[in-house]
């Protein structure tokens, strides 16, 4: 009898993640949005970017990761969360059974701020329409915001990350969890244990 990989995992009593179809082609709405983002000149960041970092991953994902803005490596490669921070994010996702390719990853800003400075309010105002549309098109079951900037935008809050962690928030009827940015964890490895607690909450929320 032929046994598929999924049946084998089930026979071994190993959880099988039910991921939505990776091969589904982007809709015309999605393609139009990406085209608009790639040609955007709404703020001054278009003058200093190498390329637009639109987003990457499964556009039908259950879990959507939202960060702050592209850094140097992201600006060079055109994908969010590459380099050391991206490697750590991949490892964090693996702890709850997700491959990078199974989630969708995007940032508040699609262009890198010079010297990786914090986004300016006017830049956020011009750019976040793209993110809002991405969330609406992906329709994830859960949002995971990494870092202070992403948390403050999605929650319209200025509370500290410490105050926002460890609970389930909501963004336009979608559950939202807050955790540390991988770049922060590289500088402050003592907080990796707290980040793991956030990932466990993410896992439980997706399975509830």
CA angle 175, 160, 109 (to 5 degrees): 65
Name the pairing type of β-strands 63-67 and 56-57: unpaired
Half-sphere exposure of residue 102, counting CA atoms within 13 Å on the CB side? 14
Q: Where are the domains of the chain?
A: 27-207
- Rounded Cα distance between 177 and 194, Å, is 13
Q: 27-207, what's its fold?
A: Uracil-DNA Glycosylase, subunit E (3.40.470)
- Rounded Cα distance between 102 and 17, Å, is 10
Residue with tokens 């793991």, as numbered in its chain: 196
Beta bridge partners of 105: 56, 65
In a structure prediction context, what are the per-residue pLDDT tens digits for the chain, which is 208 residues long?
A: 444 444 433 444 444 444 444 445 567 899 999 999 999 999 999 999 999 999 999 999 999 999 999 999 999 999 999 989 999 999 999 999 999 999 999 999 999 999 999 999 999 999 999 999 999 999 999 999 999 999 999 999 999 999 999 999 999 999 999 999 999 999 999 999 999 999 999 999 999 8
């Amino acid at each position: 009898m032929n046994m598929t990989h999924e049946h084998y995992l089930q026979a071994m009593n190993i959880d099988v993640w039910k991921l939505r179809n990776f091969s589904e082609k982007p809709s015309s709405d999605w393609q139009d949005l990406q085209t608009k983002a790639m040609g955007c000149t709404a703020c001054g960041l278009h003058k200093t970017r190498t390329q637009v970092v639109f987003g990457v991953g499964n556009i039908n994902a259950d879990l959507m990761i939202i960060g702050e803005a592209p850094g140097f490596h992201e600006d060079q490669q055109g994908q969010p969360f590459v380099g050391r921070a991206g490697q750590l994010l991949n490892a964090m996702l693996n702890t709850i059974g997700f491959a990078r390719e199974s989630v969708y990853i995007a940032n508040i800003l699609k262009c890198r701020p010079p010297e990786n400075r914090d986004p300016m309010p006017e830049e956020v105002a011009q750019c976040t329409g793209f993110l809002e549309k991405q969330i609406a098109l992906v329709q994830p079951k859960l949002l995971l915001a990494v870092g202070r900037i992403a948390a403050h935008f999605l929650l319209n809050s200025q509370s500290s990350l410490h105050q926002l962690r460890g609970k389930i928030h909501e963004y336009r009827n979608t559950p939202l969890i807050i955790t540390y940015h991988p770049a922060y964890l590289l500088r402050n490895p003592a907080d990796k244990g707290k980040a793991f607690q956030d990932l466990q909450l993410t896992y439980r929320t997706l399975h509830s």
